[in-house]
Amino acid sequence: MKTAVVCGATQGIGYECAKALAKQGVKIVLVARNKEKLKEVAAELESINGVTNDYVIADFSQPQGVEQAIKQWLSKGNTAQILINNTGGPKGGAISTAPVSEFLDAFNQHLICNHIMATALIPGMKAAKTGRIINIISTSVKQPLPNLGVSNTIRGAVANWSKTLANELGQFNITVNNVLPGATMTSRLQILAQTKADALGLDVNDVFQEMAQESPMKRLAEPHEIAAAVAFLASDDASYINGINVPVDGGRTKSL
């Protein structure tokens, strides 16, 4: 049985990724901050994959703590063949007025923590002669999004880190790919929509409708639709897909 470490796994896209992988018979190691929520989701997944799932308590705003937590888990003889890097995005705002601290915080939370998780698990993947590293990023790596200056910047850095890692690890049968969600009904999107509604004096539902109209499908994505792409990339069927960005945005991104 394969094991997958899924970050940000107690809600939104991470939660749906954990469920999708559990349905494939994968043992899940949940990573998030809230111990009680982690225990709750781990028990829920047991009814899906029939095994005792595990969890690691870590706060991605504290890279040193993340490193200590994953190393402690590995010290018990654990390994994983799948890593889903996923965490909440930076807050919105113009890049020209963003303080340096926001860039540093986002860089640590996304790129540095992704790197910590990947480098911790890669030796085990090499030993198993197989591995999947999948990063949940954003369509902004193809087309920068308005009023998301810090996010656009950091997501681009993560995408290039990922491509470089894919080039290095392919020879070991370890693939590294990125999934780029479009506007997806998560708590983060609700915060961004409410912030915009408050700033412009709009009803938040009107903001959601505006977002939906940006996609040719005229609706927002649901988290499970993003998770389906992740589950495929994590499967054996995706064994020769490496170093790519997969937009799951209903066609919103205008570039190929």
pLDDT digits (tens, 9 = 90+) for 50-70: 999 999 999 999 999 999 999
Q: Identify the pLDDT of residue 55.
A: 98
* Structure confidence by residue, pLDDT tens digits, 78-130: 999 999 999 988 888 999 999 999 999 999 999 999 999 999 999 999 999 99
Q: Identify the pLDDT of residue 145.
A: 93
Does the residue 205 lie in any domain?
A: no
For residue 147, the domain's CATH number is 3.40.50.720
Q: Identify the pLDDT of residue 92.
A: 87
Does the residue 128 lie in any domain?
A: yes
Q: How many domains are there within the chain?
A: 1
Does the residue 94 lie in any domain?
A: yes
- The C-alpha atoms of residue 194 and residue 11 are separated, in whole angstroms, by 19
Amino acid identity for residue 172 in this structure: F
Q: What is the pTM of this model?
A: 0.95
Does the residue 211 lie in any domain?
A: no
Does the residue 133 lie in any domain?
A: yes
Does the residue 210 lie in any domain?
A: no
DSSP 82-150: EEEE--PPPPPB-GGG--HHHHHHHHIIIIIHHHHHHHHHHHHHHHHT-EEEEEE--GGGTSPPTTBHH
Does the residue 227 lie in any domain?
A: yes
| Domain membership of residue 164 as a residue range | 3-183+222-248
Confidence band (pLDDT; 50, 70, 90) for 7?
very high
Amino acid identity for residue 184 in this structure: T
Q: Identify the pLDDT of residue 193.
A: 86
Q: Identify the pLDDT of residue 197.
A: 86
* Structure confidence by residue, pLDDT tens digits, 195-235: 888 888 989 998 889 889 999 999 999 999 999 999 999 99
Does the residue 138 lie in any domain?
A: yes
The helix (H) or strand (E) run that includes residue 55 is strand 54-57
Mean per-residue pLDDT for 5-26?
97
